[in-house]
Structure 1
Amino acid sequence: MVTDPLLSRCFPDYVVGAIDYRGRPASRSASGRWTSALFIIAVEIAERFAFYGVSSNLISYLTGPLGESTASAAAAINAWNGVAAMLPLLGAFLADSYLGRYRTIVIASLLYMLSLAMLTLSSLLPSLHLAKCGDTTVDPAGCPPSPSSVALFYASLYLMAFAQGGHKPCVQAFGADQFDENHPGECAAKSSFFNWWYLGFSCGVLVAVVVLSYVQDYISWGLGFGIPCVAMLLALLVFLLGTNTYRFYPLEENSPFACMRRTVHLATEEDRGGLDSMDVGCGEGSEGLLRLLPTWATCLTYAMVFGQSSTLFTKQGSTLDRRIGFIYLNLEVPPAALQVFISVSIVGFIPVYDRILVPVARKFTKLPSGITTLQRIGAGLVLSLASMVAAALVEMKRLRTAREFGLVNQPEAVIPMSFWWLAPQYVLSGVADVFAMVGLQEFCYDQVPDALRSLGLALYLSIFGIGSFISGFLVSVIDKASRKKTGESWFSDNLNRAHLDYFYWLLAGLSTLGLLLYLHFAQAYVYKKKGRNASM
């Protein structure tokens, strides 16, 4: 591989530091850029379709075929989401240090398919068990699922989390690697890549929540879990088809694994001089990660709010009138499909942001990205706070309507209130993601050393892991405390007697505190690359 710019006369079209799939210097004109990025975005669409095809409607499966309570199901999902968001730290560590991003993506894809196949099998066991009980309906109280089906389900679910841990940080980092940040045109294209990446992400989620939630609720859970397995197989084939167009970056000497290995070796050899010479490169990597921690910590409240869309928002929507009337049809929207509001708002707003807002802002700020990444994240935190306020107000309206129509003690009754009341909280969540989530992705990719970029994106994902753990902990504690004090939990299975509005107001208060702390730390942050970002 050629890395010395002085040799560019021998290789006039190569990208410094990059090689192709044969190990030769990567040609700028024949590799990378949008051609390669589109292959990788297609893989992300399929992977998000698979992941959200399971996660978006998980609370319906847990409270339905598996017979869990609302509180325990929400806590279990938050715990699983937390693990799923933390495991990318391990996947990124292995990718940046030992396997490389390409190999990690291939291995993770195979594990993904195995987990989804196991999940499909586990979903068939409750039906078989009910048949043995002589019951043709899902009645968890009369015929609880067998321990083997529950064990297989959770084993499949956590294997899927493990597979995502390798897949998620590496695919995005590998996609961004296809643009050379030292080339003016490609540098601007890379900033745009993060926007269109998230657009593809949201398209996958959109199709999943619309199609798979309907299949799972009204046709078959087995088919609903089997379709994502096929999607992951197709995604792997698409990824492999693009191999000869990709730019690869060999593992660097200052990667985490290399630093650890050399530290152990030199300490064993008692070579203090070697340790001193090595500490500079490895220390820069550690310092680069530590600089992100204040931003990481202050965005945890955003992650806590983010987790409600697939849990409590879905249960909230299950009580409302979800009918959509057409000319001769009267369709009922599955509760999980209401998350389509988030995806539609993202898909609709990203082109506006990338093609209108960024060029306008660029004229004033002279920044290629229009605004700094920290400014973008801050705007997202404000919108996330607004979504919680909207959710609390709508829930207060829903509870008041239940009381007015005498439905408080009828948990199965449909509240005479349209599901469209939930649209504002979903839309605000979606637009908040365009700002905060995409901003966090770009920030964590750009502001870490080049050798640790998968680890940087994994650190971004861990925000949602810790946020889910905190959210699950709060749900469990509040459930026990409120039940003990008043006899009725904030998360009662009868949502007409619950108080989700109290929980939403609590999250709104925590979000306000997180926003104030974020603004304090963001003002003092100094960017690693001043050419792309100014002060906040």
Structure 2
Amino acid sequence: MEQQVKKRNRGETREVDEDKWVHDSSLDHKGRVPLRGLTGVWKASLFIIAIEFSERLSYFAIATNLISYLNKVMHQDLKTAAKNVNYWAGATTIMPLVGGFLADAYTGRFIMILLSSIIYFMGLSLLTMSEFIPGLKPCDLETCTHPGKVHEVVFFLAIYLLSLGTGGHKPCLESFGADQFDDDHLEERKQKMSYFNWWNFALCIGLLLAVTLIAYVQDYVSWGVADLILTVVMGITIVIFYLGKPFYRYRVPEGSLFTPMLQVLVAAINKRNLPYSSSPDLLYEVPKSQKFQGRYLCHTSDLRFLDKAAIIEDTQNLSAEKGGSPWRLATVTKVEETKLLLKMIPIWLTSLTFGICVAQASTFFLKQSSTMNRKITTNFEIPPASVYSISAIGMSLSVTIYDKILVPVLRKATGNERGINILQRIGIGMVLAVLSMAIAALVERKRLIVVDNEIIQGGKVGAISMSVFWLAPQYIVLGIGDGFTLVGMQEYFYDQVPDSMRSLGIAFYLSVIGVGSFLSSFLIILTDHITRKGGRGTSWFGKDLNNSHLDKFYWLVAAMNGLNLCIYVFLAKRYSYKNVQRRVVVADFNASDRAESVA
């Protein structure tokens, strides 16, 4: 009886310790095990969301109006401007692969965010100076057809500095915010699922202000004043982010990320002739009695060939193997981490066509709006970029309804913590993307009929009578799709990568959008070449939108997404998710030491 009481007391002590301390391998700003009540969760995430709001405000203010700037100030034609926007957007969303790798392996996320913020601030400052300093300003738009070379060089240098800054910002900010929630604490794990939704809600608010308030200043006040506002806001939020330092939970970088994966592949190849193990329990794993930094992963039957890396060749020499070369024997956890990365490749590839759809919203959708009637009243006309706000509204509504209404209902119906699986959420957004492109094609066809009646035959000059709000359905549907697919991809690439690679995981998600932008540019070039040659000089992309056939291009993108969706569904149905062994926390009242845990 006394022994049972002692066991119960030890269990109560462990439970109290788990509520007091955070034993998930994170540290506080002084390198100690964090106190749960003083660090992490929303109190820390709000500082991080603040600087994300500023970064997204700046990014979308520049990205959504970039094609207009290149067209009006740089005097580039539609095709060249669209390609330059896609190249910049592609570079901006590919750079996070570098930033994410460096943060996870060497610098840590906090330091990378701080360095990237400074680079971002430098880019915004240079952009502001290019509009105010006489020697850097563009030429008088009334008297010249091309800006000065100096302004052109400074402008592109500035926006690519922003790309460089985003390279560290985007993968680390979101993953650093998610790190503030403990996966092995039930309440914090549920909060983390909501975190991704509300992170994107804040992102949409930044986007909304960027394409309304800032876009209005750009179009009707001054590009320089708009850049100055963005620079000041970024400076303020950098200070706010730094003030949150005592509240954050930090992850220590673990060195080279890909070496362990390579070791698994080499070990599996070296032992390719060995028979498969009769039981997963016979495969090698670090004993749970030893200190292990991280979480154990359960064995899965996927990519079974890699299991050979964990086969113990001689059970009599197990102790010697433990101290031997990791190029010969890998743990089950390392094998499973390698499987996770390899299984992500097909999902990443089948997400790229969605990235092509996203690229249209900030290029051709916006150019459509610039040719249409944007007047709300007799004296007020909305800027073309402000139409993008419809997409942000659609995404905000989608995220809010999903988090507050659908998830609680679906949790009860399915018994799944998330309501539905991550890949199911992504797939729903892909269906909506196909629908959005089909709607865009129909609306553009309608617009071209009006153009033919009013401009080509009627001789009208300027915007057509067709209201810009005809574009609302395609923007709303794509925005709702973003709320499913983009948020789902963020959660998927953060959650399903190895724990040590979460910044890189967010970078994988961003690379979908980046590669999608590059593919969009390539598709434009290829389609232009084929249609110009096959149509005896009549390309789908004319000198301006009124001489183009974007409706046919949208149908092409819709068809590509439809075919890709079939492949995605096939893969998603056969996908197995990360299988983590939940930890039981061992009491450790020395706050200066790292936490120990067992599976």
Q: Same fold (TM over 0.5)?
A: yes
- For residue 519 of structure 1, the aligned residue among 543, 560, 569 is 569
* Unaligned runs of at least 5 residues, structure 1: 264-270
1:187 counterpart residue number: 189
* Aligned residues of 2:78 and 2:545 also touching (Cα < 8 A): no
2:210 counterpart residue number: 208
For residues 440-479 of structure 1, the aligned pairs below 5 Å read 440-479=489-528
Residues 378-402 of structure 1: per-residue CA shift (max 9 Å, x gap): 0000001111001000000000111
Q: Secondary structure at the match of 2:547?
A: coil
* Aligned residues of 2:437 and 2:558 also touching (Cα < 8 A): yes
Equivalent residue letter for 1:208: A
From the superposition, tell whether residues 405 and 9 of structure 1 become closer, same or farther in structure 2 (CA, over 3 Å).
closer
- For residue 510 of structure 1, the aligned residue among 560, 564, 567 is 560
Q: Distance in 2 between matches of 1:104 and 1:372?
A: 31
Equivalent residue letter for 1:80: W
1:498 counterpart residue number: 548
Q: Secondary structure at the match of 1:36?
A: helix
Residues 296-351 of structure 1: per-residue CA shift (max 9 Å, x gap): 111111100001111100100001000002xxx63101111100101112222322
1:70 counterpart residue number: 78
For residues 116-265 of structure 1, the aligned pairs below 5 Å read 116-124=124-132, 136-138=140-142, 142-252=144-254, 255-256=257-258
- Confirm or deny that 1:316 pairs with 2:318: no
For residues 29-428 of structure 1, the aligned pairs below 5 Å read 29-124=37-132, 136-138=140-142, 142-252=144-254, 255-256=257-258, 273-277=325-329, 284-325=336-377, 330-407=379-456, 413-428=462-477
Q: Distance in 1 between matches of 2:496 and 2:387?
A: 35
* Aligned residues of 2:136 and 2:151 also touching (Cα < 8 A): no
Equivalent residue letter for 1:500: L
**Deviation of the 1:292 alpha carbon:** 0.8
From the superposition, tell whether residues 138 and 285 of structure 1 become closer, same or farther in structure 2 (CA, over 3 Å).
farther
* Aligned residues of 1:385 and 1:508 also touching (Cα < 8 A): yes
Q: Distance in 1 between matches of 2:79 and 2:132?
A: 25
**Deviation of the 1:280 alpha carbon:** 6.8
From the superposition, tell whether residues 6 and 73 of structure 1 become closer, same or farther in structure 2 (CA, over 3 Å).
farther
Equivalent residue letter for 2:373: D
1:266 counterpart residue number: none
Residues 179-199 of structure 1: per-residue CA shift (max 9 Å, x gap): 101011111111011100100
* Aligned residues of 2:131 and 2:137 also touching (Cα < 8 A): no
From the superposition, tell whether residues 126 and 500 of structure 1 become closer, same or farther in structure 2 (CA, over 3 Å).
farther
Question: How many residues in Structure 1 have an aligned counterpart in Structure 2?
Answer: 513
* Aligned residues of 2:374 and 2:468 also touching (Cα < 8 A): yes
**Deviation of the 1:409 alpha carbon:** 8.8
* Aligned residues of 1:447 and 1:528 also touching (Cα < 8 A): yes
**Deviation of the 1:227 alpha carbon:** 1.7
Q: Distance in 1 between matches of 2:458 and 2:325?
A: 75
* Aligned residues of 2:112 and 2:169 also touching (Cα < 8 A): yes
Q: Secondary structure at the match of 2:541?
A: coil
Please identify the structure whose Cα radius of gyration is greater.
2
2:315 counterpart residue number: none
- For residue 21 of structure 2, the aligned residue among 11, 14, 30 is 14
Q: Distance in 1 between matches of 2:168 and 2:432?
A: 30
**Deviation of the 1:433 alpha carbon:** 0.5
Q: Secondary structure at the match of 1:440?
A: helix
Equivalent residue letter for 1:251: P
**Deviation of the 1:286 alpha carbon:** 3.6
* Aligned residues of 1:411 and 1:494 also touching (Cα < 8 A): no
Higher helix fraction (1 or 2)? 1
* Aligned residues of 1:215 and 1:223 also touching (Cα < 8 A): yes
Q: Secondary structure at the match of 1:276?
A: coil
From the superposition, tell whether residues 153 and 487 of structure 1 become closer, same or farther in structure 2 (CA, over 3 Å).
same
Q: Distance in 2 between matches of 1:91 and 1:198?
A: 21
Q: Distance in 2 between matches of 1:149 and 1:478?
A: 32
How many percent identity over aligned positions? 41
Residues 6-35 of structure 1: per-residue CA shift (max 9 Å, x gap): 996995511111211111110111111111
**Deviation of the 1:274 alpha carbon:** 4.6
Moved more, 65-74 or 250-259: 250-259
2:539 counterpart residue number: 489
Q: Distance in 2 between matches of 1:55 and 1:387?
A: 21
Q: Distance in 2 between matches of 1:234 and 1:373?
A: 35
Equivalent residue letter for 2:231: C
Q: Distance in 2 between matches of 1:257 and 1:235?
A: 37
From the superposition, tell whether residues 70 and 449 of structure 1 become closer, same or farther in structure 2 (CA, over 3 Å).
same
Q: Distance in 2 between matches of 1:412 and 1:483?
A: 27
Q: Secondary structure at the match of 1:369?
A: coil
Equivalent residue letter for 1:68: Q
* Aligned residues of 1:206 and 1:344 also touching (Cα < 8 A): yes
From the superposition, tell whether residues 138 and 299 of structure 1 become closer, same or farther in structure 2 (CA, over 3 Å).
farther
Equivalent residue letter for 1:15: V
Equivalent residue letter for 1:287: K
**Deviation of the 1:233 alpha carbon:** 1.0
Q: Distance in 1 between matches of 2:59 and 2:191?
A: 28
Q: Distance in 1 between matches of 2:458 and 2:167?
A: 43
Q: Secondary structure at the match of 1:320?
A: coil
* Unaligned runs of at least 5 residues, structure 2: 1-10, 266-322, 583-599
Q: Distance in 2 between matches of 1:423 and 1:192?
A: 28
- Confirm or deny that 1:433 pairs with 2:485: no
**Deviation of the 1:412 alpha carbon:** 5.0
TM-score with structure 1 length normalisation?
0.90
From the superposition, tell whether residues 209 and 411 of structure 1 become closer, same or farther in structure 2 (CA, over 3 Å).
farther
